[in-house]
Amino acid sequence: MSSPDEDPPTEPERWRDLDMLLSRPGNLVHADFNPSPGLRDSLGSLVEVLVVGAGGLGCELLKDLALSGFKNIHVIDMDTIDVSNLNRQFLFRVQDVGKSKAEVAAKRVMERVSGVNIVPHFCRIEDKEIEFYSQFSIIVLGLDSIEARSYINSVACGFLEYDSDDKPIPETLKPMVDGGTEGFKGHARVIIPGTTPCFECNIWLFPPQVKFPLCTLAETPRTAAHCIEYAHLIKWNEALKRAELFGISGVTYSFTQGVVKNIIPAIASTNAIVSAACALEALKLISGCSKTVSNYLTLETLNMVLFEVHYFSLTICRYNGLDGTHINVSEFAREKDCLVCGPGTLIELGTSTTLSEFIKMLEEHPKLLMSRASVTHEGDNLYMQAPEVLEQMTRPNLGVPMFELLKGAARTTVHVTGMAENNGKKVSSLRKLRVTFKGVEESSKMDESS
Partner 1 sequence: MAAATAAAFAEPKTKYDRQLRIWGDQGQAALEKASICLLTCGPTGTEAMKNLVLGGVGSVTVVDGSKVEQSDMGNNFLLDAECLGQSRAKSVCSFLQELNDAVNAKFVEESPLALIDTNPSFFSQFTVVIATQLPERSLLKLDDICRKANIVLVAARSYGLTGLVRISVKEHNVIESKPDHFLDDLRLHNPWVELKQFAKSIDINDKDPVVHKHTPYIVILVRLAEKWADAHDGRLPSTRQEKNEFKALIREHMLNLDEENYKEAVESSYKVSVTPGISDEIRQIIDDSSAEVNSSSSDFWVLVAALKEFIANEGNGELPLEGTIPDMTSLTEYYVSLQKIYQAKAESDCLALEHHVKDILKRIDRDPDSISRAYIKTFCKNARKLRVCRYRSMEEEFSSPVLSEVQKYFTDEDYCFAMNFYVLLRAVDRLAANYNRFPGIFESEIDEDVPRLKTAAVSVMSEMGMNGAPLSEDLITEMCRFGGAEIHPVAAFIGGVASQEVIKLVTKQFVPLLGTFIFNGIDHKSQVLAL
Q: Is 215 a catalytic residue?
A: yes
Assess 95 for contact with partner 1 (CB under 8 A).
Answer: no
Assess 285 for contact with partner 1 (CB under 8 A).
Answer: no
d(CA 162, CA 29): 28
CB of 149 to partner 1, least distance (A): 20
Q: Cα–Cα distances in Å, from 158 out to 128, 317, 352?
A: 15, 25, 26
Chain residues 301-330 in contact with partner 1, contact rule CB under 8 A: 311-312, 315, 317, 321-327, 329
CB of 234 to partner 1, least distance (A): 16
Assess 1 for contact with partner 1 (CB under 8 A).
Answer: no
Backbone angles phi, psi at 429, to 5 degrees: -135, 155
Assess 205 for contact with partner 1 (CB under 8 A).
Answer: no
Is residue 407 left, alpha or beta, with left meaning phi > 0 and alpha meaning psi from -120 to 50?
left
CB of 68 to partner 1, least distance (A): 6
CB of 57 to partner 1, least distance (A): 12
Chain residues 329-348 in contact with partner 1, contact rule CB under 8 A: 329
Assess 70 for contact with partner 1 (CB under 8 A).
Answer: no
d(CA 341, CA 175): 12
Assess 240 for contact with partner 1 (CB under 8 A).
Answer: no
**With CB under 8 A as the contact rule, which of the stretches 131-139, 267-275, 388-396, 419-427 interacts with partner 1?**
267-275
Assess 258 for contact with partner 1 (CB under 8 A).
Answer: yes
> Which uninterrupted H or E stretch holds 225?
helix 224-233
Which residues are CB-contacts of 374 (< 8 A; sequence separation ≥ 6)? 381, 383, 384, 385, 386, 416, 417, 418
Chain residues 43-62 in contact with partner 1, contact rule CB under 8 A: 60
* β 72-76/117-121 pair status: parallel
Assess 279 for contact with partner 1 (CB under 8 A).
Answer: yes
Q: Which is nearer to partner 1, 323 or 364 (CB)?
A: 323
Q: Which is nearer to partner 1, 248 or 410 (CB)?
A: 248
Assess 116 for contact with partner 1 (CB under 8 A).
Answer: no
Catalytic residue of the set 59, 123, 215, 278: 215
For residues 81 and 102, the answer to whether their CB atoms sit within 8 Å is no
Q: Which is nearer to partner 1, 247 or 387 (CB)?
A: 247
Burial class, 4, CB count within 10 angstroms (exposed 0-12 / middle 13-18 / buried 19+): buried
Q: Sign of torsion, CA 212 419 186 123?
A: negative
Chain residues 144-203 in contact with partner 1, contact rule CB under 8 A: 183-184
**With CB under 8 A as the contact rule, which of the stretches 16-24, 172-180, 293-301, 379-387 interacts with partner 1?**
16-24
d(CA 289, CA 30): 9
**With CB under 8 A as the contact rule, which of the stretches 277-285, 386-394, 431-439, 442-450 interacts with partner 1?**
277-285
Assess 427 for contact with partner 1 (CB under 8 A).
Answer: no
Q: Which is nearer to partner 1, 191 or 405 (CB)?
A: 191
For residues 398 and 354, the answer to whether their CB atoms sit within 8 Å is yes
Chain residues 215-234 in contact with partner 1, contact rule CB under 8 A: 216, 220-223
CB of 171 to partner 1, least distance (A): 27
Q: Cα–Cα distances in Å, from 71 out to 43, 159, 361?
A: 8, 24, 45
d(CA 54, CA 379): 27
CB of 205 to partner 1, least distance (A): 16
Chain residues 376-415 in contact with partner 1, contact rule CB under 8 A: none
Assess 20 for contact with partner 1 (CB under 8 A).
Answer: yes
**DSSP at 354:** B
DSSP structure string for 114-166: TT-EEEEE-S-GGGS-GGGGGG-SEEEEE-S-HHHHHHHHHHHHHT--B-TTS
Burial class, 323, CB count within 10 angstroms (exposed 0-12 / middle 13-18 / buried 19+): exposed
CB of 22 to partner 1, least distance (A): 10
Active-site residues: which are they? 215
